[in-house]
């Protein structure tokens, strides 16, 4: 599925459906400029891919958006509200969830218990909600199994649906397809598409597998040395001369 977007002079969607905006963000670590004046706009209900070589700034951008790092310059907006200075738990409560390159689950807790750790304790039907999400992810049969006993793909599904326990609208996924077999990869992508199409969820994904990026994203952004060098449909980015030089040295 590809999209055609109508933008204003600054790059924003004219219909105002940007759910997440990063405006002129710079992040430095001493003399290393990890992000240099980066601006991006994420459209609601779509899948946006983030690519770039190792060290391009992809995970740093995720960390700035989710409050793990504080931007040195620039701002981050979620649904039009400035979240730049909020703490990670405050941003999560606003509706932004994320996964990590290294899976973060509780291996010595059951699958169901892992979901319940993310539940709103004031929600009366949290247990029912957890079971519904496990059904959605194909994990309900494993609800009483220890999370550490799951396959890598199943652990990634668990990490994803745990985000949904606190009703995240925007999900940042770091290397969703890495380390899982083709069957699990297909199931993960189907789950993401279902959440977009049926639940209106928004995904921003870092991925090195170009088949995943080019075949499943509505829009792709490419970073290199902390700077945005390309943005557009998968086809546009794939044919971008700067992107070709970064990946192929041509």
User: pLDDT tens digit string along 157-214?
Assistant: 899 888 888 888 999 999 888 888 888 888 889 989 999 998 899 999 998 888 899 9
In a domain, 37, yes or no: yes
Parent domain of 70:
1-95+202-250
In a domain, 85, yes or no: yes
In a domain, 188, yes or no: no
Rounded CA separation 29/35 (Å)? 10
Q: Which CATH number fits the domain that encloses residue 232?
A: 3.40.50.300
In a domain, 197, yes or no: no
In a domain, 194, yes or no: no
What average pLDDT score do residues 35-55 get? 95
Asked if the model's pLDDT at residue 139 lies above 80, the reply is yes
Asked if the model's pLDDT at residue 225 lies above 50, the reply is yes
Asked if the model's pLDDT at residue 14 lies above 50, the reply is no
Rounded CA separation 160/155 (Å)? 9
Radius of gyration of the chain (CA): 18
Looking at the structure of the chain, the number of domains it has is 1
What average pLDDT score do residues 50-59 get? 94
In a domain, 38, yes or no: yes
Asked if the model's pLDDT at residue 37 lies above 90, the reply is yes
What's this model's pTM, rounded to 2 decimal places?
0.86
Half-sphere exposure of 176 (CA within 13 A, CB side): 34
- When the pLDDT of each residue in the chain is averaged and rounded to a whole number, the result is 88
pLDDT of residue 32: 95
In a domain, 185, yes or no: no
Closest CA to 170 of 138, 205, 136: 205
In a domain, 75, yes or no: yes
DSSP letter at 213?
Answer: H
């Amino acid at each position: 599925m590809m999209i055609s977007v109508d933008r204003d002079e600054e790059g924003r969607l004219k219909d105002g459906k940007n759910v997440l905006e990063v405006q002129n963000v710079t992040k430095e670590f001493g003399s290393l400029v990890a992000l240099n004046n980066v601006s991006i706009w994420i459209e609601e209900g779509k899948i946006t891919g983030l690519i770039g070589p190792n060290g391009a700034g992809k995970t740093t951008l995720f960390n700035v958006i989710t409050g793990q790092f504080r931007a040195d310059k620039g701002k981050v907006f979620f649904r039009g509200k400035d979240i730049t200075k909020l703490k990670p738990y405050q941003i999560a409560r606003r509706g932004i969830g994320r996964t990590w390159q290294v899976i973060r689950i509780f291996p010595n807790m059951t699958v169901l218990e892992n979901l319940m750790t993310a539940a709103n304790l004031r929600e009366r039907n949290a247990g029912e909600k957890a079971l519904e999400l496990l059904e959605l992810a194909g994990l309900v049969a494993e609800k009483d199994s220890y999370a550490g006993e799951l396959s890598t793909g199943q652990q990634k599904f668990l990490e994803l649906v745990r985000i949904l326990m606190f009703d995240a609208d925007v999900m940042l996924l770091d290397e969703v397809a890495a380390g899982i077999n083709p069957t699990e990869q297909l199931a993960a992508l189907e789950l993401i598409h279902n959440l977009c199409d049926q639940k209106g969820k928004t995904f921003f994904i870092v991925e090195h597998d170009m088949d995943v990026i080019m075949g499943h994203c509505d829009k792709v952004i490419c970073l290199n040395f902390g700077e945005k060098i390309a943005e557009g449909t998968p086809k546009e980015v794939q044919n971008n001369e700067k992107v070709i030089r970064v990946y192929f040295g041509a």
